[in-house]
Amino acid sequence: MIKSIKLFLKKETVLIISFILAFISCFIIPPDKEYFEYIDTATIIILFCLMLVVLGLKEIGLFEYIGGALLNKIKTERQLILVLVFLCFFTSMFITNDVALITFVPLGILILNMSSMNNSLCLTITLMTISANLGSMLTPIGNPQNLYLYSISNFSVIKFVLIMLPYTIISAILLFVCIWFTYSKRKVTIDKLENKKKINNNSLIYYIVLFCLCILTVIGLIPDIILFIIILISIIIKNKTLLLKIDYSLLLTFICFFIFVGNINRITIFYEFITDILNDNVRIVSIFISQIISNVPTAFLLSGFTQEWKELIVGTNIGGLGTLIASMASLISYKQIIINYPNLKNKYLAVFTLLNIIFLVIFCILPI
pLDDT digits (tens, 9 = 90+) for 48-88: 999 999 999 989 988 888 887 877 788 889 999 999 999 99
Mind listing the pLDDT tens digit of every residue in the chain (368 residues)?
677 777 776 667 778 888 998 999 999 999 998 888 888 888 899 989 999 999 999 899 888 888 878 777 888 899 999 999 999 999 999 999 999 999 899 988 988 888 878 888 999 999 999 999 999 999 999 999 999 999 999 999 999 999 999 999 999 999 999 999 999 888 877 666 665 567 888 999 999 999 999 999 998 899 999 999 999 999 999 999 999 988 888 888 889 988 988 888 888 887 888 888 888 899 999 999 999 888 988 998 898 888 999 999 999 999 999 999 899 889 889 888 988 888 998 999 999 999 999 999 999 998 77
pTM to 2 decimals? 0.86
Neighbours of 205 (CB within 10 A): 10
Nearest alpha-carbon partner for 122 in 275, 350, 366, 288? 350
Can you tell me the distance from the alpha carbon of 266 to that of 255, in angstroms, rounded to the nearest whole number? 17
Neighbours of 161 (CB within 10 A): 15
Where do the DSSP E strands lie in the chain?
Answer: none
Can you tell me the distance from the alpha carbon of 138 to that of 161, in angstroms, rounded to the nearest whole number? 6
Can you tell me the distance from the alpha carbon of 75 to that of 82, in angstroms, rounded to the nearest whole number? 12
Q: Is 286 in a helix, a strand, or coil?
A: helix
Instruction: Tell me the pLDDT tens digit for each residue of 44-54.
Output: 999 899 999 99
The contacts of residue 12 (CB under 8 Å, 6+ apart) are 249
Bin 341: left if φ > 0, else alpha if -120 < ψ < 50, else beta: beta
- How buried is residue 347: exposed, middle or buried, by Cβ count under 10 Å (0-12/13-18/19+)? middle
Q: Is 262 in a helix, a strand, or coil?
A: helix
